[in-house]
Chains A and B, each alone.
Chain A
Amino acid sequence: MSAIVHQHVPLTHPRLPRWAPALVGVISLALAALLGISLGWGPVGIVVVALLVYLVGLPVWSRLVENRRAATNRFVTTLVWVSLGIALVPLGSLLWKVISLGAPQVNGRFLTWSMKNVFGESGGIYHSLTGTLIITLIATIISVPVGLMTAIYLVEYGAKSRTASAIRFLVDVMTGIPSIVAGLFAYALFTLLFGPGTKIGFAGGLALSLLMVPIVVRSAEEMLKLVPDDLREASWALGVPKWKTILKVVLPTALAGIITGVTLAVARVIGETAPLLIACGATTAVNLNPASGQMSSLPVFIYFSYTQPGANPKILQDMAWGAAFVLIVVVMVLNLIARVAGKILAPKTGH
């Protein structure tokens, strides 16, 4: 038996000062700027070179002073931040563009007027805003019950049966339907039922619901699966029938997540243009009746304003930006409402 030799293992090692990353950042930027200005690169080139210098410089310095693990850590940390930045750049510039061009357009007239009999001056998007809200509401009213009940079947009744796997497969296929095909389907269906050329709000709602249902099914299914079996068994053991257990125990427990899923589905379809173009057409007048007449919507309005701005293109193209801004605001407001609702309805775990 050999005695175990306890070596002295140091628990400390030299560390770079806290301001090291900042210093390297400034140096890289200065270096890149110097090079860039003398060689005539644009600002993008300078930033890219600065990043590359930083990406090499900081780990090398760390390797010299600290140890290998710290150097790797600094390298990967930098990479993660850079990737995050790259992902945020398009989002930021998109938001900036829409807000800077769109927000100034929004005023009382813009929100309350339609484009009926408006020529050569700026009108309003009231007809498209109401159209979008009505069509999306119809789509939601169709998709939520269908999607939710399908999810309930898949989780609570079908489980691992063959029917359930078949339905899951079909839902996945539905997720992949191109939106324009959904529009064509709705248009064809309404033509079959009510005669050729039937372009109405309901058709648009139906087209969008075809796109929404699979999203609702999949997200609701995931949420229902998260509800622990313990709760179902607790309820059954009290002599509560299965349907009531689902209604009063399982659904309330999963509700917050389901609402989030529905909101995501709404956000996904509210900007659809092609299916609405086909299924409910376009109009310049306010039409609040989804059962008759064409109905405008924000995406369709944006499309026509930009592609066919008429004699005075500047006016309508500006209005298109305004409409895009309003569309984004609508989606954000919906998200906000869903978050608040989710917070209120979420299972309470605190004291």
Chain B
Amino acid sequence: MAKSIDVSDLNIYYSDFLAVEGVTMTIPARSVTAFIGPSGCGKSTFLRSLNRMHEVIPGARVEGKVMVDGQSLYDANVDPVEVRREIGMVFQRPNPFPTMSIYENVLAGLRLNNKRLKKSEADSVVEKSLKGANLWNEVKDRLNKPGMGLSGGQQQRLCIARAIAVEPQVLLMDEPCSALDPISTSAIEDLIHELKEEYTIVIVTHNMQQAARVSEDTAFFNLAGAGKPGRLVEMNPTKKIFSVPDEEATEAYISGRFG
């Protein structure tokens, strides 16, 4: 059920400001792809254009093509709501719904999309998703407590559980560990390892070791200069990027010589 994503010549704008220019890449299915690059180079912007979350910002628009399994995402008759059901997203800051319990948070995607679930089905979705997010053991005794009562790392895993409960084909993660301690981070990295069996995963990270640990492929984004749009410098298998990258800029960034 996982899908690959083909991006060709994508330009991404905020009103008149060109934030990302001319990105062409292929994100393979059932594998983890990491985006790295200095702050402000447009990683989040590009990620959000992959499930049409970019356009929720007033004035934001996109030029170019994004193909998911042969379907063009930005065709006029494509419904962005449908796209987002297939391509889920986990945000940098955990954002569980404050009015809902842990149980309801996991089911939110299904319930809000009018899926009628029997109690037993709902229970099994919750258990499966929470287990999938490595959170089940910590919360199984307090499923009816508010989701906001969890720690930051638990909240983030709750958000991952919520995202995988709707069984998307692709999971986009924007710096999912940046607010977490090393233990929660490693729990989430383990989780990513397991999830890639079934999902296509794209992860933005500022942590080089994390990119090296979890991803098959790595894309390096950079700014051509101050005020210039961000662009894709190179995309290669992670092993190659971290040992013998094609571009000098990549090497410099990874070894910490700038950015």
Contacts and interface: CB of A to CB of B under 8 A. Distances in A.
A327 B120 CA distance: 52
Size category of the binding interface on chain B:
20 to 34
A351 interface: yes
A238 B163 contact: yes
Given A234-B97, A249-B97, A347-B98, A239 B85 contact: yes
B145 interface: yes
A173 B149 CA distance: 43
B89 A230 contact: no
Interface in B213-244: none
B112 A240 contact: yes
A187 to B, nearest CB: 43
A237 B98 contact: no
Interface stretch (B22-30, B51-59, B175-183): B51-59
A133 to B, nearest CB: 31
Given A239-B113, A241-B81, A350 B99 contact: no
A108 interface: no
A237 B89 CA distance: 6
A160 B15 CA distance: 14
B84 interface: yes
A236 B95 CA distance: 12
B58 A248 contact: no
A233 interface: yes
B68 interface: no
B112 A237 contact: no
Interface residues of A, number: 27
A228 interface: yes
Contacts of B83: 239
B113 A240 contact: yes
A178 B177 CA distance: 56
B56 A228 contact: no
Contact of A238 (B84, B96, B98): B84
Nearest to A240: B112
Contacts of B81: 236, 239-241
Contacts of B98: 231, 253, 347-349
Interface in B61-94: 81-86, 88-89, 91, 93
A159 B58 CA distance: 9
A30 B113 CA distance: 74
Q: Is the interface of A mostly helix, strand, loop or mixed?
A: helix
A122 B126 CA distance: 66
A252 B108 CA distance: 13
B245 interface: no
B95 A230 contact: yes
A236 B146 contact: no
A238 B166 contact: yes
B146 A233 contact: no
B162 interface: yes
A235 interface: yes
A244 interface: yes
Nearest to A239: B85
A256 to B, nearest CB: 10
B95 A348 contact: no
A238 B112 contact: yes
Contacts of B88: 237-238
A249 to B, nearest CB: 6
Interface of A: 159-160, 228, 230-241, 244-245, 248-249, 252-253, 255, 347-351
- List the 4 closest pairs (A to B, CB-CB), nearest first: A239-B85, A347-B98, A348-B146, A238-B109
20 contacts: A159-B58, A231-B98, A234-B91, A234-B162, A237-B89, A238-B84, A238-B163, A239-B83, A239-B85, A239-B166, A240-B109, A241-B81, A249-B112, A253-B99, A255-B99, A347-B98, A348-B98, A350-B146, A351-B145, A351-B149
Interface of B: 51, 53, 56, 58, 81-86, 88-89, 91, 93, 95-99, 108-109, 112-113, 145-146, 148-149, 159, 162-163, 166
Given A238-B85, A239-B166, A347-B99, 15 more contacts: A233-B56, A233-B91, A234-B159, A235-B108, A237-B51, A238-B108, A239-B85, A240-B113, A241-B81, A245-B112, A253-B98, A253-B99, A348-B146, A349-B149, A350-B149
